[in-house]
Structure 1
Amino acid sequence: MKKTLLSSLLPLLILNCTHKKENVQQVNKENPNLLMSIPLKYLADYPAIKDSSLFIRNLQQAFNLHVHESPAQQESEKIMAFKKVKIYGSDEEYYFIEYDWKTGSNAEYPWKNQLLLTQEGKLVKKLSAARYQFVSIFPKQNPHLLTTLVTGHGNGGHEIYRLTADSLEDIYGGDVRTYDAHEDNKVYEPHELQLKIKDYNNDGFNDIAFVGKLVLIQRRTPDGFWYNNTTIDGREIKYSVDNPYKKIPVEYIFLYDQKTGHFKPKGDYREKYKIDE
């Protein structure tokens, strides 16, 4: 009698434990980055999304995506990417999802989230980049994830990620602006400096650089005062993006450090590109 009762209860216990394993959202003790999970049924239909609204609601709930929604946002929100990727540092495949809600306040810009998930649906990293790209820096290796971070005012920079033990690690050590569309006293041309991959120091490993032009739309006096108009031969000249004072080629080089696996600046670019009169 006891054996019969135990044999009937065992399948129910296994089923209940399996259900809890899929739905309980806990911090992974080995890796605190793996915070929450999306129920596997939403990933099982890959690469299709049968109900995008339901898929989005589930993403918001599972990963605490703080979106101050309005009717306009709900009408235009969209899953822009849902794909499997490999990233430098691991041969495992991961799900990469980009959710774009199109509009919002400047404080929320760029109104996008990118999510990297394990095959089990665990969250590796939540990003909020204006643009992303998978770039091959080292030959015959998986690509790195390049993200472009931009504020609502048009200032920003980059991050470059590799995988390290199921964590995304930013290996770009650049403390320099590499995106500038803010028309205060200068901008970049193009607004997002272009990534260049090259072995600059001939050590057998590729390095990176961000290249473009620094466009001065104002002039600056030796004591630090910016001004946007001047008089030359009796003519008043007003500087702007269409009529800049000067364009300066820039190239921010970051060398690959074999010991740390990070890219480090070749020089002090704040000193190199001083623009005092």
Structure 2
Amino acid sequence: MKKIPLAVLLPLLILNCTHKKENTQQAKKENPNLKMSIPLEYLADYPAIKDSSKFITNLRQAFDLHIHKSPLQQESEKITTFRKVKINGSDQDYYFIEYDWKTGPTAGYPWKNQILLTSDGKLVKTLFAQRYEFIKIFPKQNPFLLATLVTGHGNGGHEIYKITADSLVNIYDGNVKTYDTNEDSKVYEPHELQLKIKDYNNDGFNDIAFTGKLVLIQRRTPDGFWYDNIIIDGRQIKYSINNPYKKIPVEYIFLYDQKTERFKAKGNYREKYK
């Protein structure tokens, strides 16, 4: 048998170990959701849904959707969206489905799911957004998926998604509330702050901002105590949505970081009220 010189054998061993390491890392990156799928027969009639009841039942079973079951839910549930989309980060077609069952406990709000599937019916991600929108931030690229996430008490914010390695990934580092209907001491006007797309730092890449007004329906004492009525010149004044104490313009800017490909806050945005 012909001996292989050590100088030749060693690089081969290193290369083999490197390939095994890369394969292991790649396996860890795989989206576990892609093991869950819906039978293609339910997608074959796209864009039509011949039997919505069977479609919903199969959807819930295939992706283990937990919903509030009641007679009212069964009467109201429906598929509100069934479409093919492209999302930033990939040129592949995806199925986007929204299933709305209309009612349930406050803890389960907003009582709807958005489901993203590959073209062969495998699950990419399930969302629980009150509202979604496909937004074009960069002119020559596919749109991002904007999701508005809201609790049953009216507090919420946003997430912005793109496709990365077969996964739907949020690339928005939001650190501030951008949705507020909860009438504690303040709300927003509009309740969901408006999204603005603009190159704020002039680096050639669009950034985003959430803009609107902070409506104070209470005042705060210097030591931090909130109150909603006061007596001025013998007259009682009560603050409310219809009679707010003050409206403050807000603009929360998030700059696009080319290295991380994420939108990062320009400032700290700690809310201060005086």
Deviation of residue 35 (structure 1)? 3.5
After the TM superposition, which residues 72-111 of structure 1 pair with which residues of structure 2 at under 5 Å, given as runs? 72-111=72-111
1:189 aligns with 2:194: no
Question: What is the alpha-carbon distance in structure 2 between the residues aligned to residue 179 and residue 30 of structure 1?
Answer: 33
Change (3 A) 1:52 1:164: same
Partner AA of 2:272 in structure 1: K
Partner of 2:145: 145
Deviation of residue 40 (structure 1)? 0.5
Q: Contact 1:159 / 1:172 at 8 angstroms: preserved in 2?
A: yes
Partner AA of 1:65 in structure 2: L
Question: What is the alpha-carbon distance in structure 2 between the residues aligned to residue 126 and residue 35 of structure 1?
Answer: 14
Question: What is the alpha-carbon distance in structure 1 between the residues aligned to residue 164 and residue 144 of structure 2?
Answer: 12
Question: What is the alpha-carbon distance in structure 1 between the residues aligned to residue 265 and residue 138 of structure 2?
Answer: 18
Deviation of residue 31 (structure 1)? 2.6
Change (3 A) 1:28 1:73: farther
* Structure 2, unaligned runs of 5 or more: 1-26
Deviations 1:227-273 (A, max 9, x none): 00011111100000000000000000000000000000000100xx4
Question: What is the alpha-carbon distance in structure 2 between the residues aligned to residue 29 and residue 120 of structure 1?
Answer: 20
Q: Contact 1:78 / 1:101 at 8 angstroms: preserved in 2?
A: yes
After the TM superposition, which residues 31-180 of structure 1 pair with which residues of structure 2 at under 5 Å, given as runs? 31-180=31-180
Q: Contact 2:162 / 2:171 at 8 angstroms: preserved in 1?
A: yes
Partner of 2:24: none
What is the TM-score of this pair, normalised by structure 2? 0.89
Q: Contact 2:30 / 2:165 at 8 angstroms: preserved in 1?
A: no
Deviation of residue 127 (structure 1)? 0.3
Deviations 1:102-160 (A, max 9, x none): 00110110000000000110000000000000000001210000000000000000000
1:232 aligns with 2:232: yes
Deviation of residue 54 (structure 1)? 0.4
After the TM superposition, which residues 206-225 of structure 1 pair with which residues of structure 2 at under 5 Å, given as runs? 206-225=206-225
Identity %, equivalent residues: 78
Partner of 1:9: none
Deviation of residue 29 (structure 1)? 8.3
Question: What is the alpha-carbon distance in structure 2 between the residues aligned to residue 216 and residue 121 of structure 1?
Answer: 47
Change (3 A) 1:86 1:234: same
Matched residue SS, 1:223? coil
4+ runs deviating over 2 angstroms: 27-31
Q: Which segment drifts farther, 128-137 or 34-43?
A: 34-43
Q: Contact 1:178 / 1:193 at 8 angstroms: preserved in 2?
A: yes
Q: Contact 1:35 / 1:124 at 8 angstroms: preserved in 2?
A: no
Partner of 1:7: none
Deviation of residue 222 (structure 1)? 1.2
Deviations 1:2-48 (A, max 9, x none): xxxxxxxxxxxxxxxxxxxxxxxxx9983323240000000001000
What is the TM-score of this pair, normalised by structure 1? 0.88
Question: What is the alpha-carbon distance in structure 1 between the residues aligned to residue 250 and residue 146 of structure 2?
Answer: 20
Question: What is the alpha-carbon distance in structure 2 between the residues aligned to residue 161 and residue 63 of structure 1?
Answer: 20
Matched residue SS, 1:75? helix
Question: What is the alpha-carbon distance in structure 2 between the residues aligned to residue 164 and residue 244 of structure 1?
Answer: 44
Deviation of residue 162 (structure 1)? 0.5
